[in-house]
Amino acid sequence: MQIARFTPEMKKTHTILVPDMLPIHFNLILSIFRQYGYHTELLQTSTRKVIDEGLKNVHNDTCYPALLVIGQFMDALKSGKYNPDTTALLLSQTGGGCRASNYIHLLRKALSENFPQVPVISLNFSGLEKGSGFVLTVPMMIKLVFAVLYGDMLMLLFNQCKPYELEPNSTDKILASWQKKISSEFEKNNFFSTSKTYKEILDDFAAIPRSKVQKPRVGIVGEIYVKYSPLANNHLEEFLISEGCEPVVPGLLDFCMYCAINNVNDGKLYDFKNKTTFFNKIGYDFFYSKQKQMISAVKKHGVFNTPHDFEHLRHNADKYIHQGVKMGEGWLIPAEMAALAETGTENIICTQPFGCLPNHIVAKGMSRVIKEAFPIANIVAIDYDPGATKVNQENRIKLMLANIKNRNK
């Protein structure tokens, strides 16, 4: 099978489609790509056609995230909105044990029949694919890190304001305004003063007129794609807000630190050192220093709840599971569940995609242990797959919320 490659010349002619996952973060990330001359567009389709296209183009043993991403790409190409001759697709590859790193080949196979001219770009930091015309330069990568930081702050504050806003869509307007401002700061290379920017963001969100009646806080943990993607989790955050709850979602920076420290841990477990472990340790220390800065800014401001300290998460993990267990978001899931439970968010939804066995083992297997440690914890595992209906998923969540109300009587 001949593979279409993204060449440097295509930078001027092609539109690069990006699958949906974290709308707040991805809008910032794509603005950075555009600043460097890449024409990018975030796909936000969430119809049944996406699932149907996924089922047509991959076998039924494929994990749900891969099915959705491939389905979203194929649905976009068949919609007639994009010219296949001037369209490219971007797919991330994490490396490691996740099967998703191999699904770029399934996507190319799906394209080979009807759209062989469409190149697929691999976004990875593991050297999995080389020779692409899509090049991540050092300045771009630095901006991407800050996009994650600012995205986490915006997501944290949005979820703490949206359920309580007194003026409809006032939180959305502040969010859109700050996404535009931060994108502009990236363009001006004026994005390093995070402390000053955090203070301004916190002030703007704090000024939103909000109800003072505390609503039930519901944590969302699980496999990274289903946890974050509105397409995959059927707009879970929006549903919780509509049901009178405050969603609590761990930041993307946690996952970045999780990936970095896993590489460092591997070196310790298997007694080796190389440049990968060296640079991952440097990356982890940098990420963690930035997270502490964010936590300090939120704590100093005094209005909003702070995100969890990642070193505390690791300490939590050690109580229940070994940090060598890393497949399917491994030790991170029980660590997040424990951290949520001990800080007052006893109601937790664990999102689980079809086809990810390690995720099911870790999430469901560790739920009992967490409940034993925190008897008040109200944990429900929700499966997401092509055959699961939104109504059934929402009914299970409503049952969990009913338990909250009964407990509070």
- Does residue 197 fall inside a structural domain? no
> Are residues 377 and 252 located together in one domain of the fold?
yes
- Does residue 227 fall inside a structural domain? yes
Final residue before a domain boundary, out of 113, 135, 157 = 135
Mean pLDDT for back-to-back runs of 10 residues, the chain (409 residues): 85 94 94 94 90 86 86 94 95 70 83 92 72 85 94 97 96 97 91 89 97 94 92 94 95 93 89 88 95 96 95 91 85 93 92 80 85 90 85 90 73
Final residue before a domain boundary, out of 135, 161, 176 = 135
DSSP string covering 213-251, please?
SPPPEEEEEESHHHHH-TTTTTSHHHHHHHTT-EEE---
- Per DSSP, the three-state class of 172 is helix
- Does residue 164 fall inside a structural domain? no
User: Rounded to an integer, what distance in angstroms lies between the CA atom of residue 137 and that of residue 119?
Assistant: 20
> Are residues 248 and 381 located together in one domain of the fold?
yes
Structural domains in the chain (count): 2
DSSP string covering 192-220, please?
--HHHHHHHHHHHHHTS-B--SPPPEEEE
Q: What does the pLDDT read at residue 283?
A: 94
Q: What does the pLDDT read at residue 324?
A: 86
Containing domain of residue 69, as a range?
A: 10-135
Q: What does the pLDDT read at residue 95?
A: 63
Final residue before a domain boundary, out of 135, 164, 185 = 135
